[in-house]
Amino acid sequence: MLGQAKPVCFVLTSDIARARGFYTYTLGLTETGDDPYAVSYDLAGTLMRLTSVEGHQAGPHTVLGWQVADIAAAVDALAEKGVPCAVYEGFGQDARGIWTDPGSGTKIAWFFDPDGNNLSLTQFG
């Protein structure tokens, strides 16, 4: 039924102004509008709504990720903007915080938005 429908994704925040600055200026996402409930972004053709929810607390799992061609360059660009990658004890990440799947060569790095939402970058092997 929904196989051909365009997806819409949602990222929750407790502080829309702070999160908007991060997604718009730090990550460089293109705003497509705002309304009393959310700021909208175009994610390569997918609509993302940054939605304010009073008292929002981020969960431990990844909520949004991007496929990138050069993960090292993307991680370096985030670091230049003051966004470090998460390092998980015992996970075997490199000095930049990039984990490489030994089977496929896929590389993944995780980072957080100001609300603590877990975001990721993936370079498929």
Asked if residue 62 and residue 106 are part of one domain, the reply reads yes
Asked if residue 79 and residue 38 are part of one domain, the reply reads no
Kindly report the CATH number assigned to the domain that includes residue 105.
3.10.180.10
The total of other beta-carbon atoms located within 10 Å of residue 18's CB is: 12
Asked if residue 122 and residue 75 are part of one domain, the reply reads yes
pTM of the model: 0.94
Asked if residue 79 and residue 28 are part of one domain, the reply reads no
How many structural domains is the chain composed of?
2
Asked if residue 124 and residue 64 are part of one domain, the reply reads yes
* pLDDT tens per residue, range 77-114: 999 999 999 999 999 999 999 999 999 999 999 999 99
* pLDDT tens per residue, range 4-24: 999 999 999 999 999 999 999
Q: Taking the CA of residue 122 as centre, how many other CA atoms within 13 Å lie in the half-sphere pointing to its CB?
A: 12
Asked if residue 62 and residue 117 are part of one domain, the reply reads yes
Per the CB < 8 A criterion, the answer to whether 88 and 31 are in contact is: no
C-alpha distances out from residue 90 to 29, 97, 99, Å: 32, 12, 11
- Domain containing 1: what range? 1-54
Q: How far apart are CA 71 and CA 36, in angstroms?
A: 35
* pLDDT tens per residue, range 31-66: 999 999 999 999 999 999 999 999 999 999 999 999
Asked if residue 14 and residue 41 are part of one domain, the reply reads yes
